[in-house]
Structure 1
Amino acid sequence: MLDLYTPGSSFLHRLPPAPKMLAMMLGATLLFINQSLPVTIAATLVIFALYPVAQLTLKQAFAQIRPLLIIFVLFFVVQWYFSGLELAAYVVLRLAALILLASLVTLTTRSSDMIDTMTHGLSYLKPIGVNPEKVSLAISLALRFIPVLAQITREVREAQKTRGLERSVIAVAMPMAIRAIKMADDISDAIDSRGYRS
């Protein structure tokens, strides 16, 4: 199964998955509740600062959002046109902060540890009919979707750039589609191997 975990010995690497995941959920909630652009800017800078703390470079941090720059530009232009410059900056920065935060957790936590932690936490909901394994796997895959998509996009662009085809939409889109299908197959295999189909 795909795993973006980057080995390291930092405090964030040694921290158990549960507090990191709880901090991420709390941080994401506060980012959505917050309506202030200065606070959003500060939060984004703090998240960036956590990457060196985790022994990750700022280049790795920017790599998490670089493949989505086109989407950021599109969101910014649309929001600027309809709601003004300040709201446009707020929306884009908040999205970038959420992606950076999720990526930070993903890069410093093994996916197997995340799934095990969520499965344990959700086991208390079994009496009301919740299947902890299925729910934890679904949440884990959702948390990892954007970083994995970013990695696929980056790898495809780099490969096509070496061939001088980075400006060709078809040359970039087709390998991405194939990689996405392969990723879906890997996820399906992971689900089957854990017996979650039943």
Structure 2
Amino acid sequence: MIGLYLPGTSPLHRLPAGGKLAGLLVAAIVVLRLDSLQALGIAAAVVLLLAATARVPWREGLRQLRPIGWLAVPLFVLQWLTAGPVRAGVVVGQLVVLVALAALVTLTTRVTAMLDAFEYVLRPLRRVGVDPERVGLVLALAVRCVPLVAQAYQEARDARRARGLEHSPVALAVPLVIRLLKRADAMGEALAARGVDD
């Protein structure tokens, strides 16, 4: 889940957000260059060690990886058919390690700290007309809207089930769109009231 933060006092929690994001970028480059299952196994062990150091519950860690299951399985099959089982394992292993690293950064970093880091990086672009604060606001809204969309989907799905229309896509899509439009309208009014659209 985007924006989920697990409070803690581990060394990983105490690292500045900018340093963690830079480390994630370097780690991603390294992981994408690994071309053996043994090397990926070592990378996965390092991620597990970092998660243990940060005291991330194993169930929470698995929950962070669950959403990529729908992508990992077909990707593994496709790679197996086109490049062989070893290459399939390497590609899917890279995906899992990268998502686990990103989840670890998310779980140990407050969203506000990440947004401050992005604003800091974007400050030099102020000279060419980029407003770092506005970009930070857009990122904050994007982070906040992901769980709101998920919640609206769950509400629409529950309402469809309560009406006995579980197999009707229209009974899901129409209420979902209406809920999202209402929330977007309310958010727009709140932003306008604070002068963000000036």
TM-score (normalizing by structure 1): 0.70
Change (3 A) 1:126 1:36: farther
Q: Which residue number corresponds to residue 105 of structure 1?
A: 105
The corresponding residue for 2:94 is 94
Against the structure 1 CA distance between its residues 62 and 120, is the aligned structure 2 distance closer, same or farther, given a 3 Å change threshold?
same
Assess if the C-alpha contact under 8 Å between 1:115 and 1:140 holds in 2. yes
Paired residue for 1:64?
Answer: 64
- 1:22 matched to which residue of 2? 22
Do 1:4 and 1:106's aligned partners in 2 also have CA atoms closer than 8 Å?
yes
> 2:75 and 2:28 mapped to 1: Cα distance?
19
**Which amino acid is 2:124 matched to?**
Y
- Counterpart residue number, 2:116: 116
- Alignment of 1:11 with 2:11, yes or no, is yes
Report the residue type matching 2:8 in the other structure.
G
Structure 2 letter corresponding to 1:12: L
Distance 2:86 2:167 in 1: 32
- Aligned residues of 1:79 and 1:85 also touching (Cα < 8 A): yes
Residue number in structure 1 paired with 2:85? 85
> Partners in 1 of 2:100 and 2:167 — Cα distance?
27
CA shift in 2, pair 1:170/1:52, >3 Å = farther
Structure 1 residues 35, 192: closer, same or farther in 2, change over 3 A? farther
Using the alignment, how far apart are the partners of 2:9 and 2:64 within structure 1?
21
Q: Number of residue pairs matched?
A: 177
- Correspondences of 1:21-170 after superposition (within 5 Å): 21-136=21-136
Quick one: percent identity of the two aligned structures?
33
Offset of residue 169 of structure 1:
8.1
Task: Structure 1: state its 5+ residue gaps.
Answer: none
Amino acid of the structure 2 residue aligned with 1:92:
V
Deviation at 1:31, TM superposition (A): 1.7
Q: Which amino acid aligns with 2:12?
A: L
Structure 1 residue 85 displacement after superposition: 0.3
- Could you tell me how far apart the structure 2 residues matched to 1:70 and 1:46 are? 25
Code of the residue aligned with 1:90 in structure 2: it is: V
- Quote how far apart the aligned CAs of 1:197 are: 5.4
Aligned residue identity for 1:111: V
**Aligned CA distance change for structure 1 residues 192 and 43 (closer, same or farther; 3 Å):** farther
**Distance in structure 2 (CA, Å) of the matches to 1:115 and 1:57:** 25
Paired amino acid for 1:87: R
Please tell me whether the aligned partners of residues 65 and 96 of structure 1 are also in contact (alpha carbons under 8 angstroms). yes
In 1, Cα distance between equivalents of 2:124 and 2:60: 37
Deviations 1:26-46 (CA, angstroms, capped at 9, x unpaired): 111222233333222211221
Q: Which of these two proteins has the greater Rg computed from alpha carbons?
A: 2
Contact conserved, 1:5 with 1:107, CA < 8 A, in 2?
yes
Q: Are 1:133 and 1:196, in contact at CA under 8 Å, matched by a contact in 2?
A: no
The alpha-carbon deviation at position 117 of structure 1 amounts to: 1.5
Deviation at 1:109, TM superposition (A): 0.8
Q: Counterparts of 1:189 and 1:23 in 2: how far apart (Å)?
A: 34
Tell me, in whole angstroms, the C-alpha distance in 2 between the residues paired with 1:5 and 1:55.
12
